Structure 1
Amino acid sequence: MTPRLRRLTKRFALAALLLIAGVILLDRLFPLPLPDASGGSTVVLARDGTPLRAFPDSDGVWRYPIQLQDVSPLYIQALLTYEDRWFWRHPGVNPFALARAAAQWVVHRRLVSGGSTLTMQVARILDGTPHSAAGKLRQILRALQLEAHLSKREILTVYLDRAPFGGTIEGVEAASWAYLGKPASRLSRAEAALLTVLPQMPSRLRPDRNAEAARGARDKVLDRMAQLGVWTRGEVRDAEIESVAARALQPPLSAALLAERLHAEQPEAHRIATTIDAELQRALEARVTDYLARLPDRTSAALMVVDNATLEARAYVGSAAFGDEQRLGHVDMVRAWRSPGSTLKPFLYGLALDDGLIDSESLLIDAPQSFGSYRPGNFDLAYNGPIGAAEALRLSLNVPAVDLLDRVGPTRFAARLANAGLDLRLPRGVQPNLSVILGGAGVRMEDLVGAYTALNRAGVGGRVRYAQDDTMTERRVLSDGAAWIVRDILEANPRPGYSPGTFDPGSRPRVAWKTGTSYGFRDAWAVGATRRYTVAVWIGRPDGTPLPGQYGAVTALPLMFQVVDSLPRNALSAAPEPPPAGVTQTDVCWPLGLAFDPTHAELCHQKRTAWVLNGVIPPTLPERDATSWSAGLVHLRTDADTGARLGATCTAARITEVEIARWPALAYPWLSRDLRHRASLPPLARGCASDGLDASQPIRIDGIADRAAIARAPNSDKPATLRLRALGAGGDVLWLVNGKLEGETRGAQSFEHAFAEPGDQTITALAASGAYAQLQVRVLR
């Protein structure tokens, strides 16, 4: 090599190094303005990819991030063919296209084609370069810089996410949903061509404003695809037949409160995939809006549908109407703490089954009772007397539930619920007490639903899942057998207005349902569990003001059944499920509660078929009040000749031993004459010392004779009125009329009652000891 050639080589190498250093320096001084991965807009998606709600970025731009593989290949074909056929081969700039554009400018004295590659368009989108010669140069440099830093797929993905489509819409996915109502993965050829050309003049070609101009531009792309042989002429002709729909641009707003919740939990996420069924969600939102139109002002609602198998939420309606200020539509009632009313009772009965306290037909007493200073009453103030556990649960009776909770223990009950994921909120410093079973605590709908799924998941509930990547958190609520028995009890509760054999009820899904109403008509609940889904409905006012006359069975239950009947079902939905191992059917007897023994049939006053758990047949629960008459089996010695009862120190010529089954004291006012006779004790033999079995002092109602008739005073519009006293009572006396509590007196104080309705009336005076007196009167018209 000659000295001159060596000098030229060195100078060339030096120049190359300086050029490389300059390029590196410029790259460092003017870095690429790539999109910030931590900021920008967010879209919350249904399980099928349908946008539920989008959150714009700080500039108010709607953008649904998407990956290349999630876009229709037809769109990619149209885009690259029409905009940049050499995209995969050029280094960011196509010199032939630039030369052609320059020649066209010289000949026509105007810009015919810009010569921009797709990479240069991305550079303009990111850098905002002006339409000038300097701007074009800067765009070229940025394109080269892009190619040096990003792969072709990454550059194409930036275009898919950032291309302008009119207004505040950017990216092909947002444009596809906004203009076409579908994801970019399902574009037809005509739709792909439309979205290909739209970014060229997004304002002039918006199909919602100028459908004809958009159609003309679309057909131009289709012709190019046919000319270049990418699509056949037949495919293009079919595509040209499609119309350009002019849809009104409205951002999606479904499951708005859930979307807001998930966005707050994942503020950096651009795409949040939920478990929500988009079509079901929209249908239920519309149903709730229509349903509430018939209810008082300011009424809101919450509704959930959860798939039992996966614990995934399929519908989440957090309020009546998102954004409705009057209804406080911004308050998410799915997460709000509200009184559950009676909706916790199934878990109490299930726990009592697991503890061996009851079977499904255990004898409970629905009568006025005091638990210390707490005296619960039923919703309608009426009482049923002796009643089976299953019926007490189905009727949602309060006194039997409080009695059971008193035996289970309210603290233990609350702890079991908390362990199962169903937390109870109590006022600060207050411990769980007997009122929690009647709604004296706060719960959240999502926790309540998670627990109710246990009825169809072998006793295992769990935390409701909202996002597809949420972990499965399962918790034991009840044993498999107790859950099955409780579900069977609740499924046997007929729908309001229906009975077996009416309007094809056999084809409907079996629903284990329970309602609840909080004190003061502030919360109306209905929860229903089918084999596949658990559905919960809450109706009330978010600010806690009452809705008089609106309660669970009237207000929430109809909507719950509408939702249940609209859900997918299969042939097994209406078929009963066989009991699990450990659950058997047995005949039990009242009043003792023991298994039927044919050798002692006289002790079985009433026989019932019960579901029994693990072979345990618990006897009737002992009476709480030690001063009450003793319930259970009584062994007596009697005089065989007179039938009189013999005390311990008495004797007779001929003695027989007998057994008598006694009812709980508070049950007697509701028993038939025959049952009372069968449970009565023989009188004590003359001369025998008291054996204590007659310790309870009898009382008598004074003021009218049994079976008397009364009527209003002549020419008076006031109803017939009685003033009565309970003679022989030293303490509190409760007065019931037709089983409904109407008053309370002490000692011989007078009880006054007006009889507004004609007909036979049963009046009962019930002392705390269990002693009672009863008579009947007829009220004449």
Structure 2
Amino acid sequence: MNTIVSYIKYHKIKSAIILVLLIAYYFCLPKELFKAPTATVITSNNNELLGALIANDGQWRFPHNDSIPEKFKTCILQFEDEYFYYHWGFNPVSIFKALRDNLNSKTVKRGGSTITQQVIRLSRKGRSRTYFEKLKELILATRLEFRTSKNNILSYYSSNAPFGGNVVGLDAASWRYFNRDAHHLSWAESATLAILPNAPSLIYPGKNQEILLKKRNRLLKKLVQDQIIDSLTYTLSVEEPLPETPYPLPKIAPHLLHKIAKTQNGNHIKTTIDISLQKQVNYLVKSHYNTLKQNEIYNCAVLVLNVHTRQVLAYVGNTPTDKAHQKDVDIIDKPRSTGSILKPFLFAAMLDAGDILPNTLVADVPTQFGSYNPENFNKSYDGAVPASKALSRSLNIPAVRMLQEFGIDRFYQYLKTLKLKDLKYNTNHYGLSLILGGAESNLWDLCKSYASLSSTLNHYNETSSEYFTREFCEPTFLASETIKFGKKTIEKTLFDAASIYLTFESLKEVNRPENDDNWEFFDNSKQIAWKTGTSFGFRDAWAIGTTKDYVVGVWVGNADGEGRPGLIGVQTAAPILFDVFDLLPHSPWFSQPFDEMHQAEICKQSGYRASANCDDTQQAFVQLSGLKTPPCPYHKLIHLDQTEQFQVNSSCEAYSNIKTKSWFILPPVMAYYYKTKNPFYKSLPKFRDDCIDYNTASMEFIYPEEHNSVFLPKDFNGKTNELILKIAHSKPETEVFWYLDNLYLGTTKTIHEFAIVPEKGTHIITVVDALGNETKRRIDILK
């Protein structure tokens, strides 16, 4: 130590120069050797290539890969640098031999560069090949040897060596020339790639095949001579053909690739995609597309989520259509009209709030809200229908009436909690049409929401009846991400588990496509909670289903918004949905969350909690909040004579002869339509003639609806068609008097229908019954 100090003291200039040289040597190598742009590469959850986007400079250059296949490593060392693990960046013997041969031939006949030197030369691309440049490469090579390991140097080389044309790096070359991962290459294929960087412009697959073949076989001969491979392997290897034209890279998840490239351009991203499932779904989409395009329906998207991990298992952003039909558009995150796909959320919200029970009767009658006149898809009415059946049959009028009863603002807050990002306007913008497709959403958000409901129910049953604070989180397609569901809590996140379970029980009964009509009769059939949706004008067809383990979402339509006849959820999207579920493992049905439920006595006919007047009841498990719902309003006690054919009272019958009986009574309009679908519905018996009827009768218009505009066409004879007026009366036998603008028209009895031919303009129709009850309706006549 003292000697060094003394030397520095007496040789300050020399010491300073040495110090400067050492510092310069230390910092001569840049921290980042290679700065060239790389391709965006995505792989599946088991590291199989899904697709890649070429680098910004037009080169197929995959991101740096530390993993080098053993076969290629052996071949490249045998061909380029046998003493790689024994030198410090340069090989003096090789340099001497190269200088000797080049000087004797007066041309560059051979090179003496080690792999380390070649790495430096590749990192300093564009530099002239001079002896001075070679000296700099040598110095930098030694510095690189000090800075990193031999294996890292090899990985630098394999990731950045040229392999002919615009192919750079082993990974890209392996896929371009052999259509497989580098780790799956044979000895012959590895040898071919090992010799390509030596003269990539001269030796190029598809050209100069004879030169390429000789060099490859010469390397294979060296391998067998050094006993690296046996003679049989050598014999088989030399028989393998050389690659011809480059293969296109896989395009297994092209839309996901472009989505990832927006934020991870130039990176290698491992995704959560199950490559086997992805390929199968791709095939299904292509098959259905070939059928759909016959009806000029060109686009479709499918998303598959794992409920437990919230990982994306399959991502098909569009069909294999052409550019004219926007094949490159990723539909999964694009806003589209929701149709009926939001109805389950309303049903769950009303259950959760305790506004209904699963089978509470809701009205299904002609309804008009101002200028908004919703209709059922089949243009018919049930009068009254259980709420669960209204959901499973996707009836529009009950849904709109339920939304009005529940409150648009109230429901809108539920949707906001679901984080449906395409709900950009306030409730005044959507109105009651919100539940029938007046709003927009996208397949990603909808599948996310269905998965969150399933996960909520799963977690509740798997824990001590607890919820998680971050249940409604974003799914992921990145393998590096793990979804965190937050902390356990006894407070529900949005819907309680019982409301979700009862919603799924209803969705399980949705009628399946025609070829699946008898699914429930097969023991091995999959139980799926699913829902379809069809937007106005047949522009969007939806089908989303969930099991305990998976969510599958399907959208079908045209990316440009063109509607097509037959573009209906159950006909176009649902068959794809069930074909995808057939690819997935069987899932058991959801466990019933008994801790969030209570057994209650339910009226069979009305679905309400049984009142004292309900004579036909059953015990059923309902959500706890359902215990505050009102008792059945439709069962009332009536008094009958001994024959039970007439109503009586004390004005005409002795108390001892009066029979008291519970009777199921619906309001007039509901009853009018209900009995057309329920032949066993019994109207109230009329009062016996000798009795005084103290009950107040009621009547309601069936047609026309309030503030309705009616067009009266003419027939072939030029005669204007009649307008048929209809009312429903609680006592049909009562005589009814009809007026048009205070002008008496006539009377009806039992069947209260009246035909008129009014003049063009606004009119008031007045109906008065024999008991003095009156109702009016204003209409506008167009001709």
TM-score range relative to shorter protein? 0.7 to 0.9
- Counterparts of 1:636-675 in structure 2, within 5 Å, are 636=638, 644-646=647-649, 652=654, 654=656, 656=658, 657-672=660-675
Aligned pairs (5 A) from 1:717-728: 724-726=724-726, 728=737
**1:485–1:687 Cα change, 3 Å:** closer
Residue 709 of structure 1 corresponds to which residue in structure 2? none
**Residue pairs, 1:272-671, within 5 angstroms:** 272-293=269-290, 294-295=292-293, 296-297=295-296, 299-321=298-320, 324-423=322-421, 425-427=423-425, 430=428, 433-459=431-457, 462-472=473-483, 474=485, 476=493, 478-498=495-515, 505-565=522-582, 567-570=583-586, 573=587, 575-581=588-594, 582=596, 588-594=602-608, 603-604=615-616, 612-614=622-624, 616=626, 631-636=633-638, 644-646=647-649, 652=654, 654=656, 656=658, 657-671=660-674
**Whole-angstrom distance in 2 between the partners of 1:430 and 1:700:** 28
After TM superposition, list the pairs within 5 Å mapping 1:742-761 onto structure 2: 749-750=756-757
Q: Distance in 1 between matches of 2:186 and 2:494?
A: 50
Structure 2 unaligned regions, length at least 5: 1-5, 458-470, 487-492, 705-714, 727-735, 742-751, 759-766, 777-783
1:667 deviates by: 2.8
Of 675, 690, 694, the residue aligned with 2:694 is 690
User: Retained in 2: the 8 A contact 1:337–1:425?
Assistant: no
Seen in structure 2, the aligned counterparts of structure 1 residues 510 and 132 have a Cα distance that, compared at 3 Å, is same
2:708 aligns with none
**8 Å Cα contact 2:610-2:631 kept in structure 1:** no
Contact 2:613 / 2:635 at 8 angstroms: preserved in 1?
no
> Contact conserved, 2:722 with 2:757, CA < 8 A, in 1?
no
Deviation of 1:746 after TM superposition, in Å, equals: 11
1:613 is aligned with what amino acid?
Q
Distance 1:395 1:749 in 2: 36
| Residues 700 and 194 of structure 1, relative CA distance in 2, 3 Å threshold | closer
Q: Deviations over 1:1-29 (max 9, x none)?
A: xxxxxx9999999667636635655886x
Query: One-letter code of the match for 2:623?
Result: L
Pick which of 324-333 and 455-464 moved more: 455-464
Of all paired residues, the percent bearing the same amino acid is 27
Amino acid at match of 2:635: L
**How far does residue 443 in structure 1 lie from its aligned partner after superposition?**
0.8
User: How does the TM-score come out when normalised to structure 1?
Assistant: 0.78
306-315 vs 228-237, greater mean Cα deviation: 228-237
The aligned counterpart of 1:114 is 111
Structure-2 separation of matches of 1:14 and 1:677: 114
Root-mean-square deviation over aligned CA pairs: 4.4
Aligned-residue offset at 1:586: 7.3
Inter-CA distance 162–728: structure 2 relative to 1 (3 Å threshold) = farther
Tell me the CA shift for residue 310 of structure 1: 1.2
The answer on whether the counterparts of 2:386 and 2:606 sit within 8 Å (CA) in structure 1 is no
- The aligned amino acid for 1:568 is L
| Deviation string, structure 1 residues 740-773 (Cα, Å, up to 9, x no partner) | xxxxx9986459xxxxxxxxxxxxx9x9x9999x
Q: CA deviation at 1:38?
A: 9.1
Query: CA offsets per residue over residues 446-500 of structure 1, 9 Å max, x none?
Result: 0100111245324455422111233526594532222222223222334322467
Residue-by-residue CA offset, 1:527-550 (whole Å, 9 max, x unaligned): 122343211111222232322331
- Residue aligned with 2:41, SS: strand
Aligned in 2, Cα 1:246/1:687: closer, same or farther, shift over 3 Å? same
Distance 1:259 1:143, change over 3 A: same
Q: Which stretch of the first structure deviates more once superposed, 50-59 or 677-686?
A: 677-686
Cα shift at 1:307: 1.5
Task: Answer yes or no: is the 8 Å Cα contact 1:593–1:618 preserved in 2.
Answer: no
For residues 129-157 of structure 1, the C-alpha deviation after alignment (integer angstroms, 9 at most, x for no partner) is: 44444443343344234335544344323
Q: How far did 1:314 drift?
A: 1.6
Match of residue 197 from structure 1: 195
C-alpha separation in 2, matches of 1:471 and 1:102: 57
Secondary structure of the residue that 2:636 maps to in structure 1? Answer: strand
How big is the shift at 1:216?
3.6
SS in structure 2 opposite 1:457? helix
- Residue 117 of structure 1 and its aligned partner are, at CA, apart by 0.3
Instruction: Give deviations 1:203-247, integer Å, cap 9, x for gaps.
Output: 443335566654443332222223334444455445445444446
CA contact (8 A) 1:592 1:619 kept: no
Residue 203 of structure 2 aligns with an amino acid whose one-letter code is: L
Rounded to whole Å, the distance in 2 between the matches of 1:238 and 1:409 is 76
Please tell me whether the aligned partners of residues 340 and 443 of structure 1 are also in contact (alpha carbons under 8 angstroms): yes
1:739 corresponds to = none
Task: List runs of 5+ in structure 1 lacking aligned partners.
Answer: 1-6, 623-630, 702-712, 733-744, 752-764, 773-781
Identify if the C-alpha distance between structure 1 residues 131 and 108 changes in structure 2 by more than 3 Å, giving closer, same or farther: same
CA distance in 1 between counterparts of 2:268 and 2:740 reads 70
Mapped contact 2:547–2:589 kept (Cα < 8 A): no
Partners of 1:361 and 1:610 within 8 A in 2: no
Tell me the amino acid that sits aligned with residue 82 of structure 1. Answer: F
Question: Measured at CA, do residues 315 and 247 of structure 1 come closer, stay the same or move farther in structure 2, by a change above 3 Å?
Answer: farther
**TM-score where L is the length of structure 2:** 0.78
Asked if the contact 1:426–1:432 (Cα under 8 Å) also holds between the matched residues in 2, the reply is: no
How far has the Cα of 1:442 moved from its partner?
0.9
**Could you tell me which residue of structure 1 aligns to residue 744 of structure 2?**
none
Q: 1:731, 1:391 → 2: CA distance?
A: 40
Q: State how far apart, in whole Å, the 2-side matches of 1:560 and 1:485 are.
A: 22
Contact 1:537 1:556 in 2 (8 A): yes
Q: CA deviation at 1:660?
A: 2.9
Distance 1:150 1:71, change over 3 A: closer
1:61 alignment partner in structure 2: 59
Counterpart amino acid of residue 366 in structure 2? P
1:21 aligns with 2:20: yes
Question: What displacement does 1:127 show?
Answer: 1.7
Q: Which residue of 1 aligns with 2:711?
A: none
* 2:204 aligned residue: 206
Q: Is the 8 A contact 2:354 2:629 kept in 1?
A: no
Q: 1:697 to 1:94 in 2, by over 3 A?
A: closer
Question: Are residues 676 and 123 of structure 1, via their aligned partners in 2, closer, same or farther at CA, if it must alter by over 3 Å?
Answer: closer
Moved more, 440-449 or 475-484: 475-484
Cα distance in 1, alignment partners of residues 7 and 682 from structure 2: 128
